Amino acid sequence: MTLALRRINHRRHVGRKEEMQGEKTTSDRPNDPGHLLHTGARHSDEKMGQSVVDFPVAVVLPAGGCGERTGLGTPKQFCSLLRRPLISYTIDTFHRVSWIETIVVVVAKESLDLMLHIAQKFHHTKVIVVEGGSTRHRSIFKGLQAFCARAGAPPLPRPEVVIIHDAVRPFVEEELLLQLTLAAREQGASGATRPLVSTVIAATSEGYLDHSLERAKYRASEMPQGFLYDIIYQAYQRCSEFDFEFGTECLHLALRYSGTNARLLNGPPTLWKVTYKRDLAAAESIIKDTLSMSACIISGALGETAELASRLQENLAAHSMTVDVFPCVKGKNELLMKTRNFIQISETAASLCETREMVKIFEEASHALLYPVVIVWVHLSMSEEPCPTEKGAELTTIMDISTTFRKTNILLYGIQVIHSKVPELWERSVERLSQITAALVRDRNPALTGQLLQA
């Protein structure tokens, strides 16, 4: 087996911890995929998990599939969502958990270099890349073998508990990981399950109904699953060639070959797996929805811009967006890291210099590394007949700097709004500004960057 051991030195991305959706949740949208934001509550939860999990934990991610059911030329785990491969989102799910020490990603031989590049580019410093096998179970076993002494390659520190997960299930909450890990340590194995949504039937060879199962008695087995390392490794050492070739259920191997009956936990609806092409669009939509939950308005010091900021804050709240307002960005570095959406209101194009300063802060903090940052520059024109020459100069400036920003995953949009003295016209302009801003933040469309829209 080829083992590519490579650790990329960089501080890892840490995000916000929100409450996990429970059984009563009716939406498939996770509270916070990737934990995009950073709060004090996140620190408290992380310390709690670290104090409870005082033993080594690792993750094995089999990612060697070819993704035939998506109908795409690229394996689904390497398909791009917001300029980032799907597998990077899944890795970050575990990377942000402080008590998880190592993430072994198992890929096909032809994908080794690509996976190493992804780990380096997105600063996944816990990742170890391993060449996989011809089937899912063979790949998992090779991932587990990375922790064993072998000739020609140093072993990784052996974990007490190992979590096995699918590379194409990007939305997992730390609370569930903690529950699975503790249950696995106590019981030897644990797994997440979900209620069946359809009745399971058996058909005859002629294509007729044979019998059906009573749906209430059965559950759908999901990922992640947790195991004592010695138990699952022993199971793979003992399993048959048939298991390696055709098996899919790790919990069954632990029961059959190690005599370990897994503890089953109720999983949230967010554990769904990207299987078909439409699932990629759904995953991207979930990420966009979460990214658009908050924004920051830089209002400027003038009364008119402050008034517009207040109105815009109120209107964006109607779009389920939490909005903070600050007169300027100077000295607000920590506050800027709480969101990835910014609306800057100004009466002159000179404020674009402040935009450049803000982007510099983002670049130094790698704030746009994992998720694109949106900046909506709003020009408040106090003249009801703005000068065409001035507008042309602003458009040229925005086009030029937006091209540079886009290379660093920062999307700059421009909107011009005229401060009308007619209350009805002004009200209409503010409402249109709110709608355009919300749409730009939600869609994150790179094709619209560098334009000066009219509200």
Tell me, yes or no, whether 239 and 344 share the same domain.
no
Return d(Cα 96, Cα 42) in angstroms, integer.
11
Tell me, yes or no, whether 151 and 178 share the same domain.
yes
Cβ atoms within 10 Å, residue 345: 26
Return d(Cα 349, Cα 13) in angstroms, integer.
34
CATH number, position 278: 3.90.550.10
Q: Identify whether the C-beta of residue 102 lies closer than 8 Å to the C-beta of residue 157.
A: yes
Tell me, yes or no, whether 427 and 352 share the same domain.
yes
Q: Is 86 helix (H, G, I), strand (E, B) or coil?
A: helix
Tell me, yes or no, whether 212 and 244 share the same domain.
yes
Tell me, yes or no, whether 276 and 360 share the same domain.
no
Q: Which residues of the chain have pLDDT under 50?
A: 1-43
CA distances from 344 to 20, 297, 350, 354, 376 (A): 33, 6, 12, 9, 6
Tell me, yes or no, whether 245 and 372 share the same domain.
no
**Predicted local confidence at residue 74, as pLDDT:** 86
CATH number, position 425: 3.40.50.360
**Predicted local confidence at residue 300, as pLDDT:** 80
Tell me, yes or no, whether 230 and 327 share the same domain.
no
Q: Give the residue among 222, 180, 173, 219 at the shortest CA–CA distance from 197.
A: 219
End residue of a domain, out of 233, 255, 286 = 286
Tell me, yes or no, whether 235 and 338 share the same domain.
no
Tell me, yes or no, whether 12 and 57 share the same domain.
yes
Beta strands at 209-212 and 201-203: parallel, antiparallel or unpaired:
antiparallel
Phi, psi of 353 (to 5 degrees): -65, -40
**Predicted local confidence at residue 38, as pLDDT:** 41
Tell me, yes or no, whether 300 and 280 share the same domain.
no
**Predicted local confidence at residue 154, as pLDDT:** 75
End residue of a domain, out of 286, 313, 334 = 286
Return d(Cα 193, Cα 265) in angstroms, integer.
6
**Predicted local confidence at residue 151, as pLDDT:** 59
Number of domains in the chain: 2
Return d(Cα 393, Cα 353) in angstroms, integer.
15
Tell me, yes or no, whether 97 and 150 share the same domain.
yes
Residue 54 structural domain? 3-286
Q: Identify whether the C-beta of residue 327 lies closer than 8 Å to the C-beta of residue 300.
A: yes
Mean pLDDT score across all residues of the chain: 86
**Predicted local confidence at residue 68, as pLDDT:** 61
End residue of a domain, out of 286, 307, 326 = 286
**Predicted local confidence at residue 390, as pLDDT:** 58
Return d(Cα 326, Cα 381) in angstroms, integer.
20
| Terminal CA-CA length for the chain | 60
Handedness of CA 89, 375, 441, 40 (dihedral sign): positive
Tell me, yes or no, whether 262 and 179 share the same domain.
yes
- Tens of pLDDT, residues 114-162: 999 999 999 999 999 999 999 999 999 999 999 987 656 777 899 999 9
- Tens of pLDDT, residues 199-216: 999 999 999 999 999 888
